Structure 1
Amino acid sequence: MPVLTKTPSDLVVIENAAPRVKRERDPRLDFFRGVGMLIILIAHIPDDAWALWIPARFGFSDATETFVFQSGMASAIAFGSTFDRAGPIALLACVVQRIWQIYWAHIAVFVVIASLMVVAGNTPYGNSYVDSLNLVPFMRDPGNLLVGLLTLRYVPNYFDILPMYMVMLALMPIMIFASRLHIVVPLLLMALLWIGAQIGYPMLSAEPWSDRPWFFDPFGWQLIFYTGFFLMRGSLPAPVYDRRVMALAVAIVIVTVPFAWVQFQEVYPFFKHAAESILFLTDKTKFGALRFIHFMALCYVAVHLVGEKGSLLRGPFVRVLTVVGQQSLAAFITGMVVAQAIGIVLDRTGRTLATEAAANLFGFGILVATAYCVRWFRSSPWKS
């Protein structure tokens, strides 16, 4: 429709304004992110029996791959569109702002959980909660290690995902600028960084007194982050449904089970020895090649099971998990804290089928409540 404006003389047409078409968000992205948040919570609760049945127990990849891959896809929507719309300066500003937010979220999570461990004291078995997360060195020398914490030279294992995420985000302007030259260029950079991680270079130190690296090497894990990123950008073609590819993906998922399922390996030691012989291909720190292959096969199966463009994703349960997925960073941070609190409570009450079910369901409820609360605040209803 023409847009009219009044002038002293008359009404004149100044331009033809076409409405901006908002890109439809793929429902599969947020739904599976929400599922991933629940799985990550279960995995983080200490000694949780439910963790024996999460996907990580039956394959090489786990919810970490889901989180990182889909974070890459979400970043393509948020940051890629910023670059397309407003250019490189806006992209750099947007990335810096996000890294700044995640940095302080990382510091806050550490302070809250470390405080929780101190207040909790000892387990009923006499062990220190502080020691359970290897925080004793920090308590002994908080002055020096506080500097290490702020400069990311001190990254205890439980607190390593967000630092990895920050480094991967910092690589984004390079990857986007490289993609403007040719799509092969960022793919080559991704491959070179991943190969460097496999041979131990560059390596980021996790503590000042040793050579222990970050548990999640960002230069290895960027491979799956930017695979999701460029798939969502359309630079990489999304694989369409093909019965042969589906059969291959299902076969990969099934074949890997004996090499990952510990209970199965206890009965058949051959698979345990075989799994040990391929550890360099399933290494979680460096993101081994078989983790990538397994996750992409699992992803292909899951994406096509929910129908074209997620057409089968309906109902209240899906809607709730979608909201959790949309607020995944808030859900993830909350889950890290809640998981430790739940572990402490279970130590006091005892781990039975009933208490663990109640604890896990309570944790799910906290994540859902957090997601809805954050969504409400981000909508700024007070401005209406």
Structure 2
Amino acid sequence: MAPSDPAPAGGPLAQTIKRPRDPRLDFFRGIGMLIILLAHIPDDGWALWIPARFGFSDATEMFVFQSGMASAIAFGSTFDRSGALILFARVAQRIWQIFWAHIVVFIVVTAIMVVAGTRYDGVTYVESLNLVPFMRDPGNLLAGLLTLTYVPNYFDILPMYIVILALMPVMILASKAHRHLPFFLMIGLWSATQFGLTGLPAEPWSDRQWFFNPFGWQLLFFTGYFLMRGNLPSPAYDRRLVALAIAVVVLTVPFAWVRFQDVHPFFQMAAAKLAPLTDKTNFGLLRFVHFLALCYIAVQLAGRKGERLRGRIVRVLTVVGQQSLAVFLTGMVIAHPIGIALDHAGRTVPAEIAGNLFGFCTMIATAYLVRWFKSSPWKS
């Protein structure tokens, strides 16, 4: 989760030198994928112990930040080697892939909810995901789905990612025009979002906007991108910085953990006053600060260039992180079936252990299967 050396500028050398992959990136992405699964399984008891329950940031920040870092390797080096036209083409191809992945996931999950029927409390699974409007008017809302003007809450992170990717050529070309220009653009877009100037419509029958505003979240994405590219300096080890990061993480717990808010109304009132700074839709400032503190601590724990990341579990999580898009899509599809199975089995401790471990194993198997396919074994 720290940048490697900047990519060489265009020219013959840039075409022959391949940037070494930072092992910390894939390892922490793998952890993030498992946390995201737990967060998406309905009423999962294990989700009470994920980092989001104890601080302002959560696995969404991990996903977005690390996607920015991975994009620096994929798209930044493409620009170095082949120039702007090929960069536009590659970004467009990726947007096309993610767009259709979003559509397919929506259709598959909706079909699962329809087949699942009704929950034990009489609420249909379609209602639990607020998909009743789509079932009533699939024709018009299918058009909204394809134009991203209908974005149900459970299906909102990939549309956010699409918009941020569309901003990438702008930021890359801006960095070539002047090294500080992209940071003015990043901060300007984020600031406009905090004042409610950049909302995108999420459904045609109300004024609800996208749950994840991409113009706010791009600040985190491009922070990861420019850290990996070397445009932003990576902070070195400093005991004072470590102490400050730990203090930030610890001091936010009383204002984020619901148990503290239940104990004394002061924490509940303070959390309410801090809400604009911890807002998830527009990516409030304290979410950014909290995540950077966690990130710095994680980097120090991993050691220089990830030298402390050893062992079989690390290797498995690294493979999961390397295939993060396929694993993420798998998690989106299986999270609700796991919840449905828990509803039928009874939400006992053994059932939750079995359900969550099944989910983990499915995602790990997906990562290894996708890696095997990408190796093109039929060619050898």
Q: Structure 1 length normalisation: TM-score?
A: 0.95
Q: Structure 1 residues 50, 145: CA separation in 2 closer, same or farther (over 3 Å shift)?
A: same
C-alpha distance in structure 2 between counterparts of 1:21 and 1:233, whole Å: 15
1:191 aligns to what?
187
2:202 aligns to what?
206
1:360 aligns to what?
356
2:20 aligns to what?
24
* AA at the equivalent of 1:64: T
C-alpha distance in structure 2 between counterparts of 1:186 and 1:19, whole Å: 25
CA drift at 1:138:
0.3
2:141 aligns to what?
145
Confirm or deny: 8 A CA contact 2:41 2:336 kept in the other structure: yes
C-alpha distance in structure 2 between counterparts of 1:17 and 1:42, whole Å: 44
Identity %: 70
Confirm or deny: 8 A CA contact 2:14 2:81 kept in the other structure: no
Q: How does 1:1-384 map to 2 (within 5 A)?
A: 20-384=16-380
Larger radius of gyration: 1
Alpha-carbon displacement from aligned partner over 1:121-162 (angstroms, at most 9, x marks no partner): 000221110000000000000010000001000000000000
Alpha-carbon displacement from aligned partner over 1:161-202 (angstroms, at most 9, x marks no partner): 000000000000000000002221000000010011111112
Q: Which runs of 5+ in 1 are unaligned?
A: 1-15
Q: Provide the aligned C-alpha RMSD in A.
A: 1.3
C-alpha distance in structure 2 between counterparts of 1:94 and 1:17, whole Å: 21
Matched positions, count: 369
Q: Secondary structure at the residue paired with 1:237? A: coil
CA drift at 1:21:
3.5
C-alpha distance in structure 1 between counterparts of 2:256 and 2:14, whole Å: 54
C-alpha distance in structure 2 between counterparts of 1:18 and 1:170, whole Å: 24
1:8 aligns to what?
none
Confirm or deny: 8 A CA contact 2:41 2:339 kept in the other structure: yes
Q: Structure 1 residues 349, 244: CA separation in 2 closer, same or farther (over 3 Å shift)?
A: same
Alpha-carbon displacement from aligned partner over 1:340-371 (angstroms, at most 9, x marks no partner): 11000000001111110111011000000000
Q: Structure 1 residues 377, 279: CA separation in 2 closer, same or farther (over 3 Å shift)?
A: same
* AA at the equivalent of 1:294: H
Confirm or deny: 8 A CA contact 2:15 2:81 kept in the other structure: no
Q: Structure 1 residues 199, 377: CA separation in 2 closer, same or farther (over 3 Å shift)?
A: same
* AA at the equivalent of 1:104: W
Alpha-carbon displacement from aligned partner over 1:303-339 (angstroms, at most 9, x marks no partner): 1111101000011100000000000000100001110
* AA at the equivalent of 1:222: Q
C-alpha distance in structure 1 between counterparts of 2:103 and 2:141, whole Å: 13
